[in-house]
Amino acid sequence: MRILKISSALCALSLCSLTVQADVWQGKALEEQSCSKCHDHSVYTRPDRRINSLAALTQQVSRCKKPAGAEWDKDETADVVEYLNKEFYRFK
Ligand code: HEC
């Protein structure tokens, strides 16, 4: 329930699209926790970014997971992929 309250608060700040799905929300939390050691969000938006499909994104997240020390299961990894896709990549 707490998460729902936070979501409503963020909706008021028009970050609603991020909070519609709990998965994306969870993915964001996981990514922020583990993935800022080597690069920030700018690698996801740089003009020459390398990832050009959802499959490639999934692979890259799996690849980066290890050095990040993130012990995510399949669902958690999928949440992070979903978050990165919704927020930055926007593959269909
Ligand atoms: C040990 C260092 C390291 C950590 C920790 C790390 N990454 Fe990376 N990541 C890299 C490097 C190096 C690249 C490639 C940068 C380049 O090609 O210039 C990269 C690239 C990426 C890209 C591709 C960017 C593009 O070009 O489109 C994604 C997506 C990504 N990382 C996701 C993650 C996620 C999610 C995590 C957390 C699990 C994470 N990374 C943690 C080193 C790291």
**pLDDT tens digits, residue range 2-61?**
655 655 555 555 555 544 455 999 999 999 999 999 999 999 999 999 999 999 999 999
Cβ atoms within 10 Å of 57's Cβ, excluding its own: 20
Among 38, 35, 31, which Cα is nearest to 86's?
Answer: 31
Which residue's CA lies nearest to atom 42 of ligand 1?
Answer: 38
Question: Domain tally for the chain?
Answer: 1
* Mutation to probe ligand 1, out of 39, 72, 81 (largest number of atoms < 8 A from CB): 39
Name the pLDDT band for 88 (thresholds 50, 70, 90): very high
Q: Is the CB of 39 under 6 A from ligand 1?
A: yes
Predicted TM-score (pTM) of the model is: 0.83
- Asked whether 34 lines ligand 1 (CB < 6 A), one says yes
Answer whether residue 57 is part of any domain: yes
Model pLDDT, residue 19: 46
What residues make up the domain containing 68?
21-89
1 assigned to some structural domain: no
Per-residue confidence (pLDDT) for residue 92, from 0 to 100: 87
Any ligand 1 atom below 6 A from CB of 63: no
Query: DSSP state, 65?
Result: H
